[in-house]
Amino acid sequence: MSKNLKFKSARAAKDMSQKEVAEVVNVTRQTINAIESGDYNPSIRLCIAICKALNKTLDQIFWEDDINDK
Rounded Cα distance, 70 and 15, in Å: 27
pLDDT digits (tens, 9 = 90+) for 6-62: 999 999 999 999 999 999 999 999 999 999 999 999 999 999 999 999 999 999 999
What's residue 64's pLDDT? 76
- pLDDT tens digits for 25-35? 999 999 999 99
pTM score of the predicted model: 0.87
Domains and CATH numbers, the chain: 5-64 (1.10.260.40)
Look at 63 and 26; give whichever has higher pLDDT: 26
Distance CA 43, CA 1 (A): 15
Q: What is the pLDDT of residue 24?
A: 98
Of the candidates 43, 56, 47, the residue with the CA atom closest to the CA atom of residue 12 = 56
